[in-house]
Amino acid sequence: MVGSHAAEFYALRGDEVTVFDSLMRSRLFGYDKRSVEHNWDYLSRFKNIKRISGDIRNNLDLDEAVSGDLDVIIHTASQPSVGFSIANPADDYLINAFGTFNVLEHMRRICKHATFIYCSTNKVYGEHVSDLPLVEKDKRYSFRDTGAIDENVKIDSAPHTPYGVSKYVGDIYTQEYGHIYGIKTGVFRMSCTYGTRQFGFADQGWLNHFIIANVMQRPVTIYGDGKQVRDVLYVGDLIRAFDMFIKADLKNSVFNIGGGPDHTVSLLESIEMIEARTGLETKICFDKWRPSDQKVYISDISKAKNALGWSPTVGLDDGLGMVLDWVKKNKVFFE
Ligand SMILES: NC(=O)c1ccc[n+]([C@@H]2O[C@H](COP(=O)([O-])OP(=O)(O)OC[C@H]3O[C@@H](n4cnc5c(N)ncnc54)[C@H](O)[C@@H]3O)[C@@H](O)[C@H]2O)c1
C-alpha cells in the first residue's frame, strides 16, 4: 500500500517512477488473490510509471530495476506481518533482512548518490515499550508517565518477534550504509499507517481490516481486550514526510513516524467510530493476547517535526471517511 501511494505521489508530480514488486502479498497471506494485483493495475493509468515484476532477493531482477539515473529509492517491499514471521521465520528473514541488504548493495554499486528511504517499524523497540507503566481506563490504556516514544528507547535484550528483528536488521543496515558508504539514508520507524488501497486483514492493517469487516458485516477477532492504543497516520502524510526528508539538507536520519499524541485511538474506540459512520454494528470475538503486542504505542514525532517541518494533516475522522468510501466502492474485492 505504501509503495503504491508513493508511486502515485511522484507520478502526479511529473517524475519518472519505477515500481518494483514481486506481487507476493496475496501469495504470502493467501487471503485475497486480488489485493496487490489491484494496486499494480491501478498504477497502469500513469504513463510515467514503469512497473517491473521482480523479487528483491534476486540479483537479476534488481539489475533490471536499479540504474545509475535513480535519484531516490523508497524501499517498501516487505513481508509486513508479525504473525507470518512467527510461522515462517526463514521467509521473513530472507525478505525483510536479506532483501533489504540486497537492495542496499545494488544501490551502493550502481547509484550511491541517490537517497534511500527505509520503512522501519515501532516493532524494533520490542517489549521495552511494554515496560513503561500504564493506566487502564474504560476503553483504552495510556502511558502513566510518558507522552510518547522517542527514537532513544533501548532496543536489545528484549523480545521482538522475528518480524521486529528482521526489520531491525534492515533498519541498522540502512543506517550503516549511510555511515560507512556516505549514502543519504532515512529510516522511518512507522507506527500504524492506513489508507485507501490497503487490503487490511487480521494480521496486518488492522484499522482497514475493521472498516472492511464492518462494511462487509463479517466478525472481527480482537486479540487481548481491545484497549490497545496506537497512533495512526494516513498514508499521504507518511509520503509527505519521505518527500520532505528527500528535499532536506540532512544525512543519515532515524525518525519515529506516526500520527503522534494527537492522533491516537484504541481498537475499541476505532470500532465505535466506524460504527457511528456506517450505522452498522461490528460483531466482535475476543482471543488471547498476541506475542509482543504493545499495549500502548504512541510515536513521539517531535524529531520529524523539528528536522523536516512536517506534521500530520489528515485527522482520523477524515482518514476513516476516505477509506470507507474506497471500501464501499470496491466491495467486489472483499466478497
Ligand atoms: N502499514 C503499516 O501500518 C506499517 C507499519 C510499520 C511498518 N510498515 C512497513 O512499511 C512497508 C510497507 O508496508 P505496506 O503496508 O505497504 O505493506 P504491503 O504488504 O502492502 O506492501 C509490501 C509489498 O512488498 C511486496 N513484496 C513482498 N515481498 C517481496 C519481495 N521479495 N520482492 C519484491 N516485492 C515484495 C508485496 O507484494 C507488497 O506489494 C513494509 O516495510 C512494512 O514492514 C508498515
- What pLDDT sits at residue 285? 96
Amino acid at 84: F
Q: CATH code at 285?
A: 3.40.50.720
Tell me the C-alpha distance between 288 and 221, whole Å: 10
- CA–CA distance, 103 with 99 (Å, rounded to integer): 6
pLDDT given for residue 292 in this prediction: 82
Locus of grid cell 533490471: 64
Expressed in angstroms and rounded, the spacing between residue 77 Cα and the centre of ligand 1 is 5
Q: Is the CB of 238 under 6 A from ligand 1?
A: no
Taking the C-alpha atoms of residue 55 and residue 79, their distance in angstroms, rounded to an integer, is 12
Q: Which residues are catalytic?
A: 163
Q: Is the C-beta atom of 192 inside 6 A of ligand 1? A: yes
Query: Which H or E element spans position 296?
Result: strand 296-297
Residue ranges in the chain whose pLDDT is less than 70: 31-33
- Residue from 160, 21, 197, 164 nearest 80 by CA: 164
Query: For a substitution probing ligand 1, which of 9, 35, 76 has the most ligand atoms within 8 Å of its CB?
Result: 76
The single-letter DSSP state of residue 202 is T
pLDDT of the residue at 31: 63
Question: In 3D, which of 303, 25, 62 has the Cα closest to residue 186?
Answer: 303
Amino acid at 215: V
In a mutational test of the pocket of ligand 1, which residue from 41, 78, 95 has the highest number of ligand atoms less than 8 Å from its CB?
78
Side-chain half-sphere exposure of 163, counting CA atoms within 13 A = 21
Structural domain that includes position 164: 2-334
Whether 36 lines ligand 1, by a CB cut-off of 6 Å, is: yes
Please state the pTM of the whole predicted model.
0.97
What is the per-residue burial (b if ≥16 Cβ within 10 Å, else e) of 180-201?
A: eeebbbbbbbbbbbbbbbbbbb
**Hey, how many other C-beta atoms are within 10 angstroms of the C-beta on 153?**
19
47: helix, coil or strand?
Answer: coil
User: Are the C-beta atoms of 136 and 224 separated by less than 8 Å?
Assistant: no
Task: Note the residue count of the chain.
Answer: 335
Identity at 334, one-letter amino acid code: F
208 CB less than 6 Å from ligand 1? no
Q: In 232-294, which residue ranges form alpha helices assigned H by DSSP?
A: 235-247, 267-278
Number of domains forming the structure of the chain: 1
In contact, 199 and 35? CB cutoff 8 Å = yes
